[in-house]
Amino acid sequence: MTARYDAIGIGFGPSNLALAIALEERGDTGRMRFFERQECFGWHRDMLLPDATLQVNHLKDLVTLRDPRSSFSFVNYLHEQGRLIDDINLTTSFPTRLEFHDYLQWAAARVAPVCDYGAEVVGVRPVGDGDRVDALAVDIVRGGVRESVETDSIVVENVSRVERVVDATDGVTQTIRDESRGTSRELEVDAVVFATGYEPVSVDDLLPALAGRFARDERGRVIVERDYRLRTDDAFAPAVYLQGGTEHTHGLTSSLLSAVAVRAGEIAESLDARRVRGHRGALAGALVGNGVS
Mean pLDDT along residues 21-44: 87
| pLDDT of 278 strictly over 80 | no
Mean pLDDT along residues 236-256: 86
Q: Are residues 183 and 245 in the same domain?
A: no
Q: What percent of the chain has pLDDT over 70?
A: 86
Q: Are residues 86 and 18 in the same domain?
A: yes
Could you give the CA distance from residue 72 to residue 200 in angstroms, rounded to a whole number?
29
Mean pLDDT along residues 204-228: 92
pLDDT per position as a tens digit, 117-155: 999 999 988 888 888 888 888 899 988 888 888 776 654
Q: Are residues 276 and 186 in the same domain?
A: no
Mean pLDDT along residues 220-235: 92
Predicted local confidence at residue 279, as pLDDT: 54
Q: Are residues 83 and 10 in the same domain?
A: yes
Last residue of one domain, picked from the residues 197, 224, 246: 197
> In total, how many domains does the chain have?
2
Q: Are residues 115 and 206 in the same domain?
A: yes
**Do the bridges between strand 145-151 and strand 153-156 make them parallel or antiparallel, or are there none, so unpaired?**
unpaired
Residue 98, domain extent:
3-159+202-289
Last residue of one domain, picked from the residues 148, 169, 197: 197
Q: Is 23 helix (H, G, I), strand (E, B) or coil?
A: helix
Q: Give Cα 113 to chain centroid, integer Å.
A: 17
| Cα torsion 107, 111, 115, 117: sign | positive
Q: How confident is the model at residue 251 (pLDDT cuts 50, 70, 90)?
A: confident
Predicted local confidence at residue 186, as pLDDT: 81
Q: Are residues 36 and 169 in the same domain?
A: no
Q: Are residues 154 and 228 in the same domain?
A: yes
Q: Give the H/E segment covering residue 16.
A: helix 14-26
Predicted local confidence at residue 38, as pLDDT: 93
Q: Are residues 174 and 77 in the same domain?
A: no
Q: Are residues 87 and 175 in the same domain?
A: no
Q: How confident is the model at residue 293 (pLDDT cuts 50, 70, 90)?
A: very low
| pLDDT of 13 strictly over 70 | yes
pLDDT per position as a tens digit, 60-112: 999 999 999 999 999 999 999 999 998 888 878 888 899 999 999 999 999 99
Q: Give Cα 171 to chain centroid, integer Å.
A: 35
Helix residue ranges, H only, 43-95: 74-80, 84-88
Q: How confident is the model at residue 292 (pLDDT cuts 50, 70, 90)?
A: very low
Tell me the backbone φ, ψ of residue 215, rounded to 5 degrees: -70, 150
Beta strands in 52-159 (DSSP E): 115-117, 120-129, 132-142, 145-151, 153-156
Q: Are residues 171 and 59 in the same domain?
A: no
Tell me the backbone φ, ψ of residue 209, rounded to 5 degrees: -70, -15
Q: Are residues 187 and 260 in the same domain?
A: no
Q: Are residues 116 and 28 in the same domain?
A: yes
Tell me the backbone φ, ψ of residue 18, rounded to 5 degrees: -60, -40
Q: Tell me, what CATH number does 22's domain have?
A: 3.50.50.60
Beta-carbon count within 10 A of 218 CB: 5
